Each structure stands twice: as structure tokens, then as C-alpha cells.
Amino acid sequence: MITANRSDIGRIRLVNEDQAWVGQQDGTIAIAIVADGMGGHQAGDVASQLAVQTFREALAGRELVIDDGEAAHHVVRAIHQANAVVYDMAAQNEQYHNMGTTVVAAVADKQRAVIAHIGDSRAYKIKNRDITQLTNDHTLVNELAKTGQISAEEAANHPRRNVLTRALGTDKEVEVDVQTLEWAPGETLLLCSDGLSNMVSEQQMVDTVQAGGLNLDAKAEQLVELALRAGGDDNITVVLLYNDADTSKEQEVRIT
């Protein structure tokens, strides 16, 4: 498994409230998470940091087996633990009142991947020239679009398109969307905050990920650069997981 992880503050924001982390367990399973914090006075920054840190700690030392559903169980449990930590911090500190964060996470071996998310940070799978959005945005506008109240074009340009219907840390209990899917050598998983997905088209994502002559780090850098060129209105974070059949090319970062 080859991985890349890039984040940028963007051109407008004063603080990067995005957090991301990628690691590998025993050289065979990749683990990744992206969190996009929200809340005033840098509370979003605190929320996303706490979420990623708690998620990492919850999975550290766990033996993750994807094909029997165990990994999905542990991922959801780790996100629920992160929700409790962020919620408790907000309840105990007035300056963090109502802080929260989105989260999208992946645990993948060479054959299958578990994807879990809350909010509007996304996961995509790229295969050849095809791209599939794996996550469903938990936003007011997406709910309106799904029920036919507004069109897809209206949703893309709606002034309230960033209003979340579900977030980590804002409520004592939260529902996590989780799925397990098959993926194969040569395919790529892309996790990102909306600072990327709102500014970079799916076609641009495919073109960049499938571009020849660039390693995975350079492709992640290029995706961030595309979002910056489009305006960089928000923090931008992207994680790439490439299913490479050649294990000699793996770049491993172990959980600590």
C-alpha cells in the first residue's frame, strides 16, 4: 500500500481546522482519517485534533480483520469514542461550545476497504478513468436534493450548502455511516475535506490521480494546488491510498 497525505490552510482562512493522519498496521492494512473542524475561536481546530488523536489511540494495537466485519466494528467504535471526547470537551469549556468536526475514515487491506464517515468530508474510489463517490454528504442541501426539492445544479451553488445535518461532537450520540467494499490493485481511495471537493471537479481528480510521471505524493500536492488555483476558499486536505500489488514499493508508517 502506498499512501500520501497533504493539507493546506488555503488562501482565506487564518487557521487550518483540518486534520488528517495515515498509518499502516503490520505492513498489510492502511488506516486513514480526515477531519474538518467547525466552531468559533479555533474550536474547530481543537475538535478535529481531538477526533483524529482519539481515533488513532482507539485503533492502536487492534488486530483489524476486514473480511469478517471486525474492522468495521472497531472503526465505528473508534469514531464513537472520538465523538464522546469532543462532546465532553465542548460541554466542559464554554469557549468550545458547539464545536464539532466532520470525519471520514478508511481501513483497507489489499482486497477490501471499510469506509466510515460523518458530515461532508468525502471518500472516492478511482478505477482507471472512473470515479465513484463512496460517501453521502450529511448536509441540508443534500437532503433537499435527494427529496427533489432542489436540482443538483442548485445544490452545488446553494448559499447554505455547507450546513451540516450531522457532525461529530455536537451531540452526545451520533450515527456513523459505514460500508465495506472490494477494491483491487491499481485502484485508489481518495479521502478529502470539502475544501478539495468544493473546488476540484471529479474529472480533475481522475486526471490527477491517473497522471503518468508523478508519484503519489506529487499527485496529492497537485490536487491541493488545483484547489488553491480555484480560489482556496477553505482549508484543503487530501489523503490518497493506492493499492499497489508490488509490496516492495510500500511506504509504511506504523501506528504508535
Please state the φ and ψ torsions of residue 159, each to the nearest 5 degrees.
Answer: -65, -20
55 part of a folded domain? yes
State how many domains the chain has.
1
Grid cell in block for residue 205: 481528480
Question: Looking at residue 157, what is its pLDDT?
Answer: 66
Contact 191, 125 (CB under 8 A): no
Grid cell in block for residue 49: 485534533
174-220, pLDDT tens digit by residue?
A: 999 999 999 999 999 999 999 999 999 999 999 999 999 899 999 99
Helix (H/G/I), strand (E/B), else coil: 84: helix
Share of the chain above pLDDT 90, in %: 75
Question: Looking at residue 130, what is its pLDDT?
Answer: 97
Taking each helix axis as running N to C, give the angle between helix 43-59 and helix 70-92, from 0 to 180 degrees, rounded to the nearest 10: 140
Question: Looking at residue 184, what is its pLDDT?
Answer: 95
128 part of a folded domain? yes
41 part of a folded domain? yes
Cell 466542559 sits on residue: 92
Q: Provide mean pLDDT across the span 162-184.
A: 94
> With bands split at pLDDT 50, 70 and 90, how would you rate the model's confidence at 156?
low
pLDDT over threshold 80, residue 59: yes
256 part of a folded domain? no
Q: Which helix (H) or strand (E) holds 88?
A: helix 70-92
2-55, pLDDT tens digit by residue?
A: 999 999 999 999 999 999 999 988 778 999 999 999 987 679 999 999 999 999
Question: Looking at residue 7, what is its pLDDT?
Answer: 98
- 22-31, 114-123, 131-140, 154-163: least confidently modelled range: 154-163
Which CATH number does the domain housing residue 194 bear? 3.60.40.10
Give CA–CA dist 115/41, Å, rounded: 31
Q: Provide mean pLDDT across the span 96-121.
A: 96
Share of the chain above pLDDT 70, in %: 89
Summarize the chain as % helix, strand, coil (round to 5): 35, 30, 40
Question: Looking at residue 39, what is its pLDDT?
Answer: 80
For 90-116, b/e burial (b = at least 16 CB within 10 A) is beeeeebeebbbbbbbbbbbbeebbbb
3-state secondary structure 20-82: EEEEEECCCEEEEEEEEEECCCCHHHHHHHHHHHHHHHHHCCCCCCCCCCHHHHHHHHHHHHH
Question: Looking at residue 179, what is its pLDDT?
Answer: 96
252 part of a folded domain? no
Neighbours of 197 (CB within 10 A): 22
Q: Provide mean pLDDT across the span 47-66.
A: 92
For residue 61, the enclosing domain spans 2-245
Helix (H/G/I), strand (E/B), else coil: 250: coil
Question: Looking at residue 67, what is its pLDDT?
Answer: 78
82 part of a folded domain? yes
202 part of a folded domain? yes
pTM score above 0.85 = yes
Q: Please, what is the average pLDDT of the chain? A: 90
Q: In this structure, what is the dihedral angle of CA atoms 79, 84, 85, 90, given to the nearest 10 degrees?
A: 130
Question: Looking at residue 159, what is its pLDDT?
Answer: 60
255 part of a folded domain? no
